[in-house]
Amino acid sequence: MTEGHLRFGTDGVRGPANTELTPELALALGRAAAVVLDCPRWVVGRDTRLSGPMLEAALAAGLASQGVQVEMVGILPTPGVAQLADWDDAAAAVISASHNPWTDNGIKFFSRGGRKLSDDTEQRIEAVLSTLLVSDNSAPPPPREEENVGLIEHRSDAVDRYGSHLTAMLGDRDLRGLHVVLDCAHGAAGPVAGRVFESLGARTEVLNAASDGRDINAGCGSTDPRDLSRAVVAGGADLGLAFDGDADRLIAVAHDGSLVDGDHLMAMFAADMDLRGELVDHTLVVTVMSNLGLRLACEAAGITVITTPVGDRHVLDALAAGGYVLGGEQSGHIIFADRARTGDGILAGLLVADLVRRTGVPLRQLAERSMTASPQVLVNVEVDHRHPRIAEELAEEIRAAERTLGPRGRVLVRPSGTEPLIRVMVEAPTSQLAGEVADGLAGTVERRFGRRPPG
């Protein structure tokens, strides 16, 4: 990604901070977003990355230059920023690269009311941005007149408002008697998660809540929950909950240290909500990455599964189109559409803990009852640039792999929406077969499209 070739991925704009995602680019992006979204009030939040305040200041300046009132809420989970936008009838921006390392950063936008942008809206922002960036063919237009400059204010009540909102999600129930360990990934969950669980009566241990700006997601959180697993077992806790850098995804840990991914969480929630009459039209929305075992379990339970492309925005679109209430991704984005504007890791964690307490059944047992996962192997291949038509380019090889796997197998080859990677996913009746087929396809991708050393 360069300043002249900025593109939105599956979750906003993302890249190395201060080289690809520069302050100049953030300023121009703020101006473009203000023009396209045409909302007089904006909420801007961020995670804990070292580059966050720099990009936050630049983005806010770009917004204010178009006459927008900007409310800076500081470090706050992405779903919290979206929720504030909903309450305040504002548009919003979050400066975060989610699960990426600290050297990356990103900017994702929400339209008025806290809704994720459509493809068309993103393309319109890209088009306006291209006219703002200096190039051979265009020059930035003059700034607005002084009297049209927007006000930038700092708000200090965002954590309290969002925390109270989460606490209210359990109604008159609480989490007394549960011992919970939280891993905040040195990210945006740090100021919020612990206080929410403590306020509901849980015995709460919090890991990785503070940050030096360089430690976000480093060997912790939902991308690396090994330390959380050890802490849960060592402390005799009932469960552990791991968030990513901007706290919109969740991976859970059972009392024995075993992991419970997004597919198992969705299977658990779907079964429980359907039993209680809360699952609209007995329907769950997932992406193509979800395990075949989830689909089989839902089919056996009479629950319809709707499948979308990768990205929680596609899940949100399908939920809105059908009026459904539950969806998500294997990676841990769990969306309760009747309670939140986007995936919310802390909310999902609260509802997991609530489910364990209400049923009296340990998390591992709940997960095992919910579904049996098919063996699945995911291999990532580094590439120099995205290959959006990779599945078509490898159509013959993919068909051959599917013939090898038979009816109980599945192949998915796709470009990452956030990183320079091709992802090769294979499901099969056995782990050995899944690994062999995945390695074979990944080898083909590497030979034909893999990143080549410079020179």
Parallel/antiparallel/unpaired status of strands 283-287 and 259-260: unpaired
* Contact assessment for residue 106 and residue 98, using Cβ atoms and an 8 Å cutoff: yes
Task: Output the CA–CA distances (angstroms, integers) from residue 31 to 10, 60, 132, in the order listed.
Answer: 22, 9, 8
Dihedral of the alpha carbons of 367, 196, 257, 357, in degrees to the nearest 10: -40
Residue 98 annotated among the catalytic residues of the structure: yes
* Contact assessment for residue 406 and residue 296, using Cβ atoms and an 8 Å cutoff: no
Sign of CA dihedral 42, 120, 384, 245: positive
Phi-psi region of 325 (alpha: psi -120 to 50; beta: other; left: phi over 0): alpha
- Print the SS3 string covering 182-202: EECCCCCCCCCHHHHHHHCCC
Q: Which of 65, 96, 98, 111 is catalytic?
A: 98
CA distance 207 to 367: 24
Sign of CA dihedral 132, 134, 135, 138: positive
Q: How many degrees, rounded to 5, is the angle at CA 247 between CA 291 and CA 88?
A: 120
CA distance 269 to 255: 19
Residue where the block lists tokens 């609209």: 280
- DSSP single-letter state for residue 22: -
> Looking at the annotation, which residues are catalytic?
98
